[in-house]
Amino acid sequence: MFGGQMPVIKVGRMAGQFAKPRSAEFEEKDGVKLPVYKGDNINGDAFDEKNRNPDPQRLIRAYSQSATTLNLLRAFATGGYAAMQRVTQWNLDFVEHSEQGNRYQELASRVDEALGFMNAAGLTVDHPIMTTTDFWTSHECLHLPYEQSLTRLDSTSGLYYDCSAHVLWVGERTRQLDGAHVEFLRGLSNPIGIKAEVRAFFDVHEQEGSHPGGIHLEMTRQNVTECIGGS
């Protein structure tokens, strides 16, 4: 926000991403064939029959953990942790001693100096805009029974919203135009994301006369297939 002089909407992929899309229904190791791991809200990752069998209780635990995460997020966002005066204390440990970490600290110091000037000039810096933040959540709309159970009708507008997240997206394996996931998302009023190559994403919007609302860049220090070109 400081660097671009533009408002920034903060969206986090959290509080609900417990299902994993899979290309096959079964996995085989050393002659043993078991259902594939489909995410912690369905079955377990360990390769044995007990863990790989679907367990409905996992959906209850996933919901409880998501609700707990959201409560913690609200506490951080409104309880002073997000105050601009703490900008120099915000850091990501794994980039703290990297080039990116150094660039962040430099920018944070500039913000801190600007806040100091505002305070010295008599401008208040304890306004809620400076001490709290709005934070939105997002995940892939994958496990339809879970998403359907958390969908509600807004009685004031007559519109349906999936309350499992603010922003939902349809993934690479579930974006068939005649599929159940697209049909379900078609009836929602949530903002919807679609996984597509970035240039094609902008090309489609240009052809349709619409504008891109934003792009999602996925980053991790772990060697996951989604970030290195695997399936």
Taking only the tens place, the pLDDT of each residue in 35-92 is 999 999 999 999 999 999 999 999 999 999 999 988 988 888 888 777 777 776 776 6
Q: Is 195 annotated as a binding residue?
A: yes
Q: Is 172 annotated as a binding residue?
A: yes
Q: Is 173 annotated as a binding residue?
A: yes
**How high is the pLDDT of residue 119?**
81
Per domain, the residue ranges of the chain are 84-131
By mean pLDDT, which of 163-167, 171-175, 216-220 is the weakest? 216-220
Q: Is 199 annotated as a binding residue?
A: no
Task: Give the per-residue SS3 of the chain.
Answer: CCCCCCCCCEEEECCCCCCCCCCCCEEEECCEEEECCCCCCCCCCCCCHHHHCCCCHHHHHHHHHHHHHHHHHHHHHHCCCCCHHHHHHCCCHHHCCCHHHHHHHHHHHHHHHHHHHHHHCCCCCCCHHHHCCCEEEEEECCCHHHHHHCEEEECCCCEEEECCCCEEEECCCCCCCCCHHHHHHHCCCCCEEECCCHHHHHHHHHHHCCCCCCCCCCCCCCCCHHHHCCC
Decide if pLDDT at 99 tops 80. Answer: no
Taking only the tens place, the pLDDT of each residue in 105-126 is 888 888 888 888 888 888 777 7
